[in-house]
Structure 1
Amino acid sequence: MLAFGTPVEGLVYRDRRAAFGVAENGQGKIALAQVIKPGKAPYFDLPGGAVDGDETEREAVAREFGEETGLVVEAGSLIETVSQHFLKSDGEPVRNFGGIYVVKVTGETPGLKVEDDHALVWLDPRDAVVALRHDAHAWAVAAWMRRGSAPL
Structure 2
Amino acid sequence: MYRPREAVYAIIVNDTIDEVVTVQTPDGYFWLPGGGIEGNEDHSECLRRELLEETGFSAEINHFIGNAKQFFITSENECIANEGTFYLAQLCKKVSDPLEDDHSLKWIPVRSVDELLYHKHQAWVVREGLRFNQNLKEGSMN
TM range (shorter): 0.7 to 0.9
Shift in Å, 1:89 = 3.0
Provide closer, same or farther for how the CA distance between residues 59 and 137 of structure 1 changes in structure 2, counting only shifts above 3 A.
same
**In 2, Cα distance between the equivalents of 1:126 and 1:90?**
31
More moved, 19-28 vs 65-74: 19-28
1:5 counterpart residue number? none
1:85 — aligned with what? 71
Aligned to 2:140: none
TM-score, normalised relative to structure 2: 0.86
SS at match of 2:126: helix
Structure 1 residue runs of 5 or longer lacking an equivalent are 1-11
SS in 1 for 2:39: coil
1:14–1:95: 8 Å Cα contact kept in structure 2? Answer: yes
Match for residue 34 of structure 1 among 21, 24, 37: 24
Q: Which whole-Å CA distance do the structure 1 matches of 2:42 and 2:31 have between them?
A: 20
Give the deviation of 1:59 after TM superposition. 1.4
Aligned residue runs from structure 1 range 12-51, under 5 A: 12-28=1-17, 29-36=19-26, 41-51=27-37
Match of 1:131 in 2: 116
**Structure (1 or 2) with the greater helix fraction:** 2
Aligned residues of 2:22 and 2:33 also touching (Cα < 8 A): yes
SS state at 2:53 partner: helix
Aligned length: 135
Instruction: State the secondary structure of the residue aligned to 1:68.
Output: helix
What whole-Å deviation, never above 9, does each CA across 1:48-95 have from its counterpart, x for those lacking one?
000111101121111101111112112111111111111223322111
TM-score where L is the length of structure 1: 0.81
What stretches of structure 2 of length at least 5 have no aligned partner? 137-142
Q: Does 1:140 align with 2:125?
A: yes
- Give the whole-Å Cα distance in 2 for the aligned partners of 1:135 and 1:63: 24
